[in-house]
Amino acid sequence: MAETDQERTEEPTAKRLSDARAKGQIARSKELATALVLIGSAVALMLVGKQLGMAIATIMKNAFSLQREQVFDPHLMFHSIGSMLVVLVKPMAWLMVIIVVAGVLGNTLLGGIAFSWEAAAPKWSRMSPLAGMKRMFGIQALVELVKGIAKVTVIGLVVWWLFSWKFDEMLSLSMQTLPQAIASALSMLQWLFLLMTLSLLLIAAIDVPFQRWNHTKQLKMTKQEVKDEHKNSEGNPEIKSRIRRLQMEMTNRRMMADVPQADVVITNPTHYSVALKYDTDKSGAPIVLAKGVDEIAFKIREIAQYYDIPVLESPAVTRSLYHTTKIGQQIPDGLFIAVAQILAYVFQLEQFRKGRARRPHQPNNIDVPDELKY
């Protein structure tokens, strides 16, 4: 049993995952990030490649057509260089924005965004040669080696297929005029680069599930760790049980202290007891002072007998009051008539004891609405 408790067989709890995230331990896929950055670069070149090429051509043209005064005057030279570089700003800005967006997506699609100073802090364990050797010959290093071989293989096959597919078209470039050949070659290279980078998604599709599985595996917990975490977050079950027991005892003592103030105690006759008080000055309806089953019910009846409080048997009304009310709460509207019959009997009984009226008949078979029957 002790060995089982030490095995990491339990899935990480929400707290475990939250703590790991705070430390910067989240699932990341380098392959997904690399693939999206390269694909973003390919898409960016296709979108702004023409403008970028035209800007470079303009710079080259202006650089080879400088006047003699511009060459020998430093101020004119820097002004000319600045004016030439301005044309590069817009296409380069779009190129960088697309690549940065692709890089951010690649690094946050798996695991989301997480900032952790703890992860950025230097750790001496990372600088240990022994720890470095373990990382070099560990399972993770083996996985990275397999991924590297897979990437080289996949990209090599894709490149071979692309060149086989476009080989005749490449040869035909020599038959075209110079400007047209350059434009066709650049267009072909853009599409070849995009298709080649798309092949990396195959590696990423395998790496992403593996990184998720590996992240969960590293955070798995032993049964004892789950128990300890539950105790720390929820409290010791034994202590909580004792606190609840003490609270219940205190509630029962306060409840029993209120029983002598009751006008009547109605019973089941043995399992349930409910003590009621009707004070017209404080409330418009009778209030439940105490209620209980079995031992508590017996104690309520015992206190009622000691203080000479009328005890009336009415099983249906007692069960209904017990299940539909709380201590200190008024009785439900649906039980007004039933309780009124009981209180009328109690008040008539009090008048009889004082010699002011005849002995009343105890009400029997008091009706309770069907929706309040238990």
For the chain, the structural domain boundaries read 10-116+152-220, 254-372
What is the tens place of the pLDDT at every residue in 321-373? 888 888 888 888 888 888 888 888 888 888 887 777 787 787 877 888 888 88
Hey, which residues does 265 pair with through a beta bridge? 275, 311
Answer whether 312's CB lies under 8 Å from 264's CB.
Answer: yes
Count CA atoms within 13 Å of residue 246 on its CB side.
Answer: 6
Angle 211-217-220 (CA atoms, 0-180°, nearest 5)? 145
The pLDDT of residue 214 is above 50? yes
Assign 154 a pLDDT band (cuts: 50, 70, 90).
Answer: confident
Assign 97 a pLDDT band (cuts: 50, 70, 90).
Answer: very high
Assign 228 a pLDDT band (cuts: 50, 70, 90).
Answer: confident
254-372 sits in which CATH class? alpha beta
Phi, psi of 171 (to 5 degrees): -65, -30
Q: Is 275 strand, coil or helix?
A: strand
Specify which of 69-73, 117-121, 243-247, 347-351 reaches the highest per-range mean pLDDT: 347-351
CA distance 162 to 195: 8
Assign 279 a pLDDT band (cuts: 50, 70, 90).
Answer: confident
Supply the pLDDT for residue 1.
45
**Strands laid side by side in the 272-277 sheet:** 287-293, 272-277, 264-267, 311-313
CA distance 117 to 230: 27
